[in-house]
Structure 1
Amino acid sequence: MSYSIRKRLSWSLSLSIVLVATISGGLSYVGARIKANDRQDDTLRQVAQLVRLQTPDMLSVHEAGNDDDTTDYHIGIEPINPPPNWPASHEQRQWPSDLSPGMHSVQLDDDNYQVMVTPVKGGALFAVFQETDIRKHIANASAWRAIVPLLILIPILLLVVNDLLRRLLAPINELSQAVNQRDNDDTSALPLLLLPTEVQPVVLATNRLLSRLGESMQAQRRFIADAAHELRTPMTALSLQAQRLEAIALPADARVRLQALLTGITRTRHLLDQLLNLARIQNAMPASANKSASAAPLTTPVKASFTRVLENTLNGARTKQIDLGVSDAPADEVNVRANEDNLDSIVRNLVDNAIRYTPIGGQIDVSLRIEHAHAIISVQDSGPGIEPSERLRVLDPFYRVLGTEQLGTGLGLAIVSTLLQQLNGSLVLTDRADGGTGLLAQVRLPLAH
Structure 2
Amino acid sequence: MIFWKSALLSIAVLSNTAKAQLPHKVIEMKDSLFHEIQSLAEVIPENRFPHANTRESNVEVHRLLDEFLFLNQESIGSVLHVLKLVDHNMENVIQDCERVLNMCSLESTNVVFNHVTKPLLLKVRDLCELVATNRADEIEISLETIEREAATYRRTLDQTLKDISLVSGHLESDFFQANAQQREDLILGNLQQVNQTLSKEVDQYFTNFSTNWIGKYKNLTMLIPEGLSRDQPEINALYDFMEFLDNETSVLQDDLVEFMDYWSYLVEETLESVTNGTELIVDFLRDYPLEELLSGKTPLNCVALYYSNFEHIILNMLNEFYRCVEYELEMTKAFGQITSVLDPTDKAINFMLDSYITCAKLTGHFGDDFGLADCLEDLGELLDQTREFVEHKTSEIYYHVEDAMIFNGVIMGACVHMKARDTALQIAGKMQSFDNCSKSYKKASV
Q: Same fold (TM over 0.5)?
A: no
For the pair shown, the structure with the greater C-alpha radius of gyration is: 1
| Larger RCO (alpha carbons 8 Å, 6+ apart) | 2
Question: Structure 1 or 2: larger helix share?
Answer: 2
TM-score class, shorter: under 0.3
Question: Structure 1 or 2: larger strand share?
Answer: 1
TM-score normalised to structure 1 length: 0.24
